Every structure is written in C-alpha cells, then in structure tokens.
C-alpha cells in the first residue's frame, strides 16, 4: 500500500504494537504458538486490517519429540502454520474487542490474519547466496 496516508500508517503501526502484546499475553488457545506480528495493512476507511504474522518453531523440553516433529531446526510444518493462522482468525473478534480498549480511535478495524513468508523466503535466498559463494570459492581454489 504505497499511498497510505500518515494517519492510516500511524493506526497500522499502533495496531501492530498492541496486537503483538495482546497475542502474547491474552490468547490462551493452545494452537497459537510463538507468533510474531510482522506488519499490518489498514484500509483507507479504517474498516479492515490485514495482519501479517510469522510462526516461530516452538521446541519442547523433550528432544525426542523435537526430533520427530521438526525435520531441521527452522523448518515449519505447513499444518502448524495453518493451525496458527486459523486459531488467530478465530480469536480475531476477541482481539478486536481488547484492541478497542487500547486504541483511541472511534472504530476498530476487522482483523484478518495472514502468514508472512518473507522471512522464510529471505532465509532461503540467503542460503542460496551462501552456497553460490562457497561454490565460487571452491572453483577458484
């Protein structure tokens, strides 16, 4: 959203900050793991907000369970991501009501959660660059 007004941008930034703490402190759904709010896009009329989140791996104390559920550290199961997003979308009304108490706006946008794969994609590109540099070093040696 390149043509976002300064007011809409301020509201989006405030929603992002507030949602980050609300999800961490208030959502008790066991399907919601370690979630990071990476961005919020608010419509011009402040009626709708797209909330972009990344899902971080949640490791348990049992290393056997960690080995069986994760193929490598950093890999996320698509089902785990879908469950987190579904749980957040189900809790959107609850989060909106809590957000209404914290914001000083007349109305609070309807929240819709989406998975932000940009961090995952950035890690993939970074590993490709690293492997290309290593291959280049090997060919020059």
Number of structural domains the chain divides into: 1
- Residue 58: the pLDDT is 57
The pair phi, psi for residue 110, each rounded to 5°, is: -70, 135
- Residue 59: the pLDDT is 52
- Enter the pTM of the model: 0.75
What is the domain range of residue 25?
Answer: 6-140
Contacts of residues 17-24 at CB distance under 8 Å and 24 or more positions apart, as own/partner, are 18/99, 18/102, 18/103, 19/51, 19/95, 19/99, 19/111, 22/95, 22/98, 22/99, 22/102, 23/88, 23/95
In a domain, 86, yes or no: yes
- Residue 73: the pLDDT is 44
CATH number for position 44: 3.30.300.20
- Residue 67: the pLDDT is 55
In a domain, 1, yes or no: no
- Residue 6: the pLDDT is 92
CA dihedral sign of residues 36, 14, 19, 49? negative
In a domain, 133, yes or no: yes
**Average pLDDT per consecutive 10 residues, the chain (141 residues; last block may be shorter):** 80 95 91 91 95 77 53 64 94 95 91 89 85 86 72
């Amino acid at each position: 959203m390149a043509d976002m007004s300064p007011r809409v941008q301020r509201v989006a930034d405030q929603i992002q900050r507030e949602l980050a703490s609300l999800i961490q402190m208030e959502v008790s759904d066991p399907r919601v793991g370690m979630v990071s709010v990476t961005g919020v896009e608010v419509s011009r009329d402040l009626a709708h907000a797209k909330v972009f989140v990344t899902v971080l791996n949640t490791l348990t104390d049992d290393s056997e369970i960690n080995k069986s559920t994760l193929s490598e550290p950093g890999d996320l199961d698509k089902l785990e991501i879908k469950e987190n997003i579904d749980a957040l979308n189900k809790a959107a009304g609850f989060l909106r009501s809590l957000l209404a108490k914290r914001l000083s706006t007349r109305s609070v946008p309807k929240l819709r959660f989406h998975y932000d794969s940009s961090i995952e994609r950035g890690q993939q590109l970074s590993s490709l660059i690293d492997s290309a540099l290593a291959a280049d070093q090997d060919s020059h040696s």
